Amino acid sequence: QVLLVESGGGVVQPGRSLRLSCTASGFTFSNYGMHWVRQTPGKGLEWLGVIWHDGTNKYYADSAKVRFTISRDNSKNTLYLQMNSLRVDDTAIYYCARHQSLGETTSFDSWGQGTLVTVSS
């Protein structure tokens, strides 16, 4: 079955960097676009960005455009989120999610269990 496992979360000081990973199994990773989504009690679910199946295109939310970078290594079935200049309000659970495209509609059909990032001094 489809399995997505995030890792790399933890406690980090403001201004520092962190790289999250999402390791996929149970499907052909290189055939799917992948997203990062984060969740906080205050702002709810917030989409951060997407990377196409082959890594050729990436799109970001305005909140992630400057400081965050999405990448992937299809040989390792792994998705990454590089986060720089972290701020207190980046504290959240970070999820990777698989892109589902059926006709003209898209959705997130599988999610990882999430990894908690806490930005605090």
Partner 1 sequence: DIQMTQSPSSMSASIGDRVTITCRASENIDTYLNWYQQKPGKAPKLLIYATSSLQSGVPSRFSGSGSGTDFTLSISSLQPGDFATYFCQQSYVTPPTFGQGTKVEIK
State yes or no: residue 106 binds partner 1 (CB under 8 A): yes
Taking CB under 8 A as the binding criterion, the range among 8-16, 19-27, 43-51, 71-79 that sits at the site for partner 1 is: 43-51
Encoded tokens for 96: 């990777």
Taking CB under 8 A as the binding criterion, the range among 18-26, 69-77, 84-92, 100-108 that sits at the site for partner 1 is: 100-108
State yes or no: residue 45 binds partner 1 (CB under 8 A): yes
State yes or no: residue 47 binds partner 1 (CB under 8 A): yes
Strands (E), the chain: 3-7, 10-12, 18-25, 34-40, 44-51, 58-60, 68-73, 78-83, 92-102, 105-111, 115-119
State yes or no: residue 112 binds partner 1 (CB under 8 A): yes
Which residue(s) pair with 40 in the sheet? Answer: 44
Binding stretches for partner 1 (CB under 8 A): 44-47, 59, 61-62, 95, 100, 102-114
